[in-house]
Structure 1
Amino acid sequence: MMDAQMIGGAIQGFGCDKDILIDILTQRSSAQRIMIAEAYGSFYGRDLLNELKEKLDGHFKEVIVGLMYSPPAYDAHELWHAMKGAGTDENCLIDILASRTTSDIFQMKEVYLMQYGCNLDQDLYSETSGHFRDALINLAQGVREEGYADPGLAAQDAMVLWEACQRRTGEHKNLMQMILCNKSHQQLWMDFQEFQNISGQDIATAIEGCFDGCFQQLLLAIVSCVRDKPSYFAYRLYSAIHDFGFHNKTVIRTLVARSEIDLMTIRRRYKERYGRSLYHDIKNFASGHYEKALLALCAGDTEDY
């Protein structure tokens, strides 16, 4: 209740004490923020999320409002806006659907339907196309096996993947995406090792050489997430910061979505892979309360990371 009252004091009237919002909301868990919102509603008779949307603006608003969603609701929110805005943000679709667990996807789809009155699969079908669409819908169906692996199937899967890279027909692309979207991560680990043995080539290198466009990007994202999910997100952050002139949506989405999962590991991978500190890269490109909110999410030993 004290947090709710402090936030109420921060956003009442004409001004807004953004420092209080940062100090409280970036330092609480998602479950705690939901409790704060409930206490705020009971005390003030108003919806905290709507209040924040009205009082805040810019990228700072995107960070603070994003933190107020539960993880499944935030994913649903991002997917909705990726498809319903001007154009389609394919990278957002890839980042979320290639990296979430089966349980994550089922919860996300329930919220998506409840919040927006739309079926996620149907929206993906209408907003994307080709084999990229097929693979996204496959992932969104949440049928990936989890915790199951059969060493006896690895060579068979690897041969299917290798033939898909060699022949590249529509049928072979379908077979490839079905393996990458449906098999457990443990199975895919073994499949990738067998692929190397059969072809003498790394699976990611083969995909880069055989496919292109969003379909290629999605397949590579799946491979990267199977091997080391924090490294995938470290790569996405580095690209967003250095290749696109600080792509705010990608940075915000990654930091908010991964803040309670593996953000500290992502920071370590970022430093190991690029020889740079994620904390200091954000500090160099962002500014004001937006910068402060992002850095608060990244809080830790800044010298090491």
Structure 2
Amino acid sequence: MSDIRFDGQVAIVTGAGGGLGKQHALELARRGAKVVVNDLGGAMDGTGGNSAAAEAVVAEIQAMGGEAIANGSSVADDAGVANMVAQVMDKWGRIDILIANAGILRDKSFSKMEMADFEVVMNVHLMGTVKPVKAVWEIMKAQNYGRIVVTTSSSGMYGNFGQTNYGAAKLALYGFMNTLKLEGAKNNIKVNAISPVAATRMTENLMPPQMLDLLKPEYVTPGVMYLVSEDAPTGTVLSAGAGVFAVAKIYETDGICLKGDDITAEAVRDNWDKITDPAGHEAYEQGGGQTGKFMRKLSGG
């Protein structure tokens, strides 16, 4: 089969001044894309900011003969996102790929967490993905082509101590993707999620050095390149790290159907083993699948 290429395509990568985003941006450029390197340049907790990191990545891309521009807008700022998209359209006239990678951490146990820490993490991870996607959505619809990757996390899907804010935002992006995949289908807009495990500024204090050596960000990037390619799937969560790739899904058990006077808390308790039995579990492609199961169970199926 032929190599995955992005010649003639324009890609925006947010949070691309370092770590995962930088590797995504560099690989897109190697494969022919024109790249917008977006990075606020702030600290890990979201404070501060400068354009040096984004400009350094642009210089790397230009040194390899590629085309790139730097953008320092905050992904959580409406005006900044609008200006970024306008800058791209003025220069290249199209946007084919958006990789929403920008993020911050403010880890604390929930009992010690201030609401401001919860809100800012939600704002950057969730709204900082929603706003760029919204800004490119009509452009991609008009082109009848678009590839979007949002960044979720095992912290959202499975939980991680001290990350209620981060986990809530990351699982919200799973739901965001699940509806976008449906709304974008008729215009050939494919929307996927990457759930990375990588040695970055955000994880360097969470893992021992020997583990970090195995988790280079560039080992995640091949999965992202496939998710933004022409032949990409849609509505898929790809877990990636250390060269390991797997698909994560939400499954629902077949369950039971209680009727009439049997619909009681005690009946739920007494039938818990049947309710939780994994035999026949299913991953639905949209919410209506669950409703269909309910109707089938009511009919005795």
TM-score by length of 1: 0.29
> Could you say which structure has the greater relative contact order, defined with CA pairs below 8 angstroms and 6 or more residues apart?
1
Between Structure 1 and Structure 2, which shows a larger proportion of strand residues?
A: 2
